[in-house]
Amino acid sequence: MKRTITLCLSLLFLLQISAQEKTDTIHIPDVDTVLRIRNLNPYFTLHVDSSLSYKLDINKEQSNYYWYLKNSPLGLRINKDNGLLTFKAEKAYFLSGKLKYDVEYKVQLGVQNLNKASEKMDTFFTIVFFNTEIIPSKIRPSVSSPVTVDEGDTIRFQLSCENGNFPLEMINFESSIPVKSLYSITKCGDEFAWWIPYDFVKDNDSGKVKIFKLLFIGTDKFRNRDTALVRMIVRDAINYPLKKQEYDKVVSDYNKYIQQLKFTFRTLDKKIRKTRSSRIAFDMTSSSTALAGTILSTSTNDSQKTIGRVLPAVGVTLVPVKEAVSPNKVNDQNSVSMVRTSIRRLEYILSENGLIGEKDPDIILKTTKLKTDLKQIQLQLIDVPLEEIQEINSKDANKYFDDPKVNKKYRSKKK
Q: Does domain 241-410 have CATH number 1.20.1270?
A: yes
Give the confidence band of 99 by pLDDT, cuts at 50, 70, 90. confident
Tell me the residue length of the chain.
Answer: 415
Q: Which superfamily, per CATH, for 43-130?
A: Immunoglobulins (2.60.40.10)
Segment 352-384, tens digit of pLDDT: 888 888 778 788 888 888 888 888 888 888 777
Distance CA 127, CA 42 (A): 8
Q: What pTM did the predictor assign?
A: 0.46
Segment 108-139, tens digit of pLDDT: 999 998 888 888 889 999 999 887 777 788 99
Cβ proximity of 210 and 184 under 8 Å: no
In the predicted model, what is the mean pLDDT of residues 138-142?
Answer: 92
Helix H or strand E encompassing 285: helix 240-297
The better pLDDT of the pair 31, 411 is held by: 411
Phi then psi for residue 53, to 5 deg, are: -140, 110
Distance CA 251, CA 415 (A): 38
Of 194, 59, 196, 40, nearest to 127 by C-alpha is 40
pLDDT at 324: 45
Mean of the per-residue pLDDT values of the chain = 77
pLDDT at 231: 94
Of 299, 264, 146, nearest to 209 by C-alpha is 146
**Residues of each domain in the chain carrying CATH 1.20.1270:** 241-410
**Residues of each domain in the chain carrying CATH 2.60.40.10:** 43-130, 138-237
> Helix, strand or coil for residue 154?
strand
Percentage of the chain with pLDDT > 90?
Answer: 18
Q: Which superfamily, per CATH, for 138-237?
A: Immunoglobulins (2.60.40.10)
Distance CA 257, CA 394 (A): 12
Distance CA 215, CA 173 (A): 6
In the predicted model, what is the mean pLDDT of residues 59-72?
Answer: 88
Distance CA 159, CA 178 (A): 20
